[in-house]
Chains A and B, each alone.
Chain A
Amino acid sequence: MDAIFLQILNGLDKGGAYALIALGLTLIFGTLGVVNFAHGALFMLGAFCAVTVNKVITLSAKVRDESVTFFEAYKDVPYLEMWLGDTGSLIIDWSIPISLVVAIPVMLGVGLAMERGLIRHFYKRPHADQILVTFGLAIVLQEIVKAFYGANPIPQTAPDFFSGTVNLGGLIGMDLTYPTWRLVYFIFSMGIIASVFSFLQFTTFGMVVRAGMADRETVQLLGINITKRFSVVFGLAAVVSGLAGLMYTPILPPDYHMGMDFLVLSFVVVVVGGMGSLPGAVAAGFLLGILQSLASMTEVKSIFPGIDQIIIYLIAMIVLLVRPRGLMGRKGVMED
């Protein structure tokens, strides 16, 4: 029983990442009608915001290491530690939460620039054109990151405060030890999802966006510049994906290709959830994350060897056969 709980928890943090990317994808598709294959690249760019901030605050001086006598060895001592002592070390330790503050405006800017500079020219073009241009854009962004940071993963560490484990089983009499940061990630993803839904549900801006998603022409006839609002939604989706990537860096060391790895899975999540359905994307994200984790259990794999590698695609096939529009898909979306 403990094992099942653990795998569910495991699936929840992975599902959190899937859900956040799929949420952004669905937002863009639901508002602008664009199938954005560059969305995985936004997840990756967010992760590299954390890498960049970490690199900046750990800029170091080379100091002779006297403990090595064989040859002249040097240690990297960050300037922040030299100047601020323990406070400097604390700032470095908290580089990931600090980079959240930096990433929000950066990702918003990247999203707006992407939408205004390129994607808006493809609104009235066929989906195939949109897929090609956004896929091309994703490759360009990947290669830019690769040119700056190299091809190898760059490990990031969570603050010391969150680096241990928590025993979740105390309350229910089970032995459920779980890494703190993974729990933080799950709570964070739930927070972001709740914020996005609240924003769309309880603000005037959100109300207009929802109206635009339902009937764009009528909203425009009322004199509302819906295109401008949809651009902001694109920026918002970029921020959501970027933050998802940033917070994931202590779990998976980021490299230039990480976005592409998540993108394919996230598209499956969107399709399973139902194209254009925000709750569907979130529900499918968590569902597939959990199923993927449960499929890795020894008991399951002893019956179906290799099932953990294909479970997501298997579920997608079944859902599409039984419910062709996905779990919560609406009629008429992408059916023209």
Chain B
Amino acid sequence: MTNQKNGISRRSFLKGSVAAGAALSAPALWVQGAYAGGHGFRNDPTNKATVTLGFNVPQTGAYADEGADELRAFKLAVKHLNGEGDGGMMQTMKPMNLKGNGILGKKVDFVTGDTQTKSDAARASAKRMIEKDGVIMFSGGSSSGVAIAVQALAQEMGTIFMAGLTHSNDTTGKDRRRYGFRHFFNAHMSGAALAPVLQAEYGDDRQVYHLTADYTWGWSQEESIQKATAAQANWKTVNAVRTPLGAGDFSQYITPVLNSGADTLVLNHYGKDMVNSLTQAVQFGLLDKQVNGKDFQVVVPLFSRLMAQGAGESIKGIIGSTGWNWSLQDAGSQAFTKSFGQEYGFPPSQAAHTCYCQTLLYADAVERAGTFDPVQVIKALEDHEFDGMGNGPSLYRGADHQVFKNVLVVRGNQNPSSQFDLLSVVDIVDRDQVTYSPDLYAGDLGPYKV
């Protein structure tokens, strides 16, 4: 019965098949073991001394600067949750159920991952955190493509994802998920906040050229800005050109703007892409031009202090929106800035702020729910009203898991008073002005129990 040609006997073939079958089914057995606590949810830490959170941020790629700052904020939040340091926003957050003894008395531990600003890498990293490291919640972001991809994974795996920096309408719109929550504002809110300011600053009837990062966030922002400025000030789009994420050299996209008849350039770019495209737009002399009898203007709908730092002189005078800025004078912002500054020697970015808030909001929801069971924690977060976290009274809307809060319109500071004073706040737009119906970007959250 021996197959002389291949040197494999029937018996050894059968043995090999059984061994291979056992090996292949092993991961499924381990995953089943994740529910072994008997409480019916994944990675239940009830019988452990610690609880593990996963921080999945871009450590490489176009959004690496934001990722590095997000990680700093997560580490600071863990420190504060465990009762170390000055407590930061735990002194100002309302309602506040955290006691500085971890979460439900369990010391908080964490693991980190690199999303590489790529959806597949981010999903693999998040999956490893859930399956291997046993995280009860994971967070992070800086790309809406990534956030949407890992949010879908969160739903599949039944593990809560507290999104970091993601600005596309889709994250809490058509791609919303029951297990995904966003504290950061979105493109619709940017449009709603910016349009009146842009009208007041630059007037009506402008001809606009959009350069747009070619993925969900870019498309979303382009659409929101177009709609808001058209309705508010009759701005018309001359052309909208998609650029690849991480293009580096944008010159070939900027030169056509010069002869397009446009008098305004909207850069729907973020992170290093925005730094490069804005710097190159200024190098090509766009801001020195006059078109249609008007001074040429550049608008960056979403920007942050980190980007202002990278863009240097080019950002001065440029208008955009931002989720939060360290210079805000409310008690929550000041407590967080002081705590972060003492830890790292510089103020936090908006990405750091949203990640810090998300960690505290999750921990607080667990305390209020009295359990780590994600279904109960989700219910505790839904329609939760909170304050003292830097953006005034805020709501975690249950219908789409989007936080509604005040939005800032900022301008690149012409005369900074310090090395960090790069953005000046033009307007703090009230939450009611940026609130919209959950049906505007319809989507299905999916079930509580998965």
Min CB gap B208→A, angstroms: 14
Interchain CB contact under 8 A, A177 and B284: yes
Interchain CB contact under 8 A, B252 and A296: yes
Known: A7-B252, A67-B419, A296-B253. Is A152-B60 also a contact (CB below 8 A)?
yes
Inside 8 A of A74's CB, which chain B residues have their CB? 345
Interchain CB contact under 8 A, B256 and A297: yes
Q: How many residues of A are in contact with the other chain, CB < 8 A?
A: 38
Instruction: Give the contacts of B244-294 with A (CB-CB under 8 A).
Output: 244, 248-249, 251-253, 255-256, 258-260, 272, 275-276, 280, 283-285, 288
Q: Which of B135-143, B184-192, B333-341, B370-378 contacts A (4 or more CB under 8 A)?
A: B333-341
Contact with B along A296-314 (1 / 0, CB 8 A): 1110010000001100000
A-B contact count (CB 8 A): 101
A293 at the interface (CB under 8 A from B): yes
Interchain CB contact under 8 A, B241 and A7: no
Interchain CB contact under 8 A, B345 and A72: yes
Inside 8 A of B258's CB, which chain A residues have their CB? 2-3, 6, 177
A68 to B342, CA, bound (A): 11
In the complex, which of the residues B60, B251, B346 contacts A182, with contact meaning CB atoms closer than 8 Å? B251
Interchain CB contact under 8 A, B419 and A165: no
Interchain CB contact under 8 A, A296 and B419: no
Interchain CB contact under 8 A, A155 and B285: no
A54 at the interface (CB under 8 A from B): no
Min CB gap B128→A, angstroms: 19
B100 at the interface (CB under 8 A from A): no
A308 to B256, CA, bound (A): 13
Interchain CB contact under 8 A, A70 and B337: yes
Q: How many residues of B are in contact with the other chain, CB < 8 A?
A: 40
Interchain CB contact under 8 A, B284 and A178: yes
Known: A177-B284, A251-B249. Is A65-B419 also a contact (CB below 8 A)?
yes
Interchain CB contact under 8 A, B256 and A296: yes
A74 to B285, CA, bound (A): 34
Interchain CB contact under 8 A, B252 and A73: no
Inside 8 A of B437's CB, which chain A residues have their CB? none
B417 at the interface (CB under 8 A from A): yes
B158 at the interface (CB under 8 A from A): no
A178 to B260, CA, bound (A): 17
A323 at the interface (CB under 8 A from B): no
Interchain CB contact under 8 A, B256 and A73: no
Contact with A along B198-224 (1 / 0, CB 8 A): 000000000000000000000000000
Give B420's nearest chain A residue, CB to CB. Answer: A68
Contact with A along B152-166 (1 / 0, CB 8 A): 000000000000000
B239 at the interface (CB under 8 A from A): yes
Contact with A along B78-116 (1 / 0, CB 8 A): 000000000000000000000000000000000000000
Give A166's nearest chain B residue, CB to CB. Answer: B285
Contact with B along A100-112 (1 / 0, CB 8 A): 0000000000000
A153 at the interface (CB under 8 A from B): yes
B418 at the interface (CB under 8 A from A): yes
A253 at the interface (CB under 8 A from B): yes
Give 5 pairs: A residue, B residue, CB < 8 Å, sorted on A. A70-B338, A153-B248, A163-B283, A179-B284, A251-B251
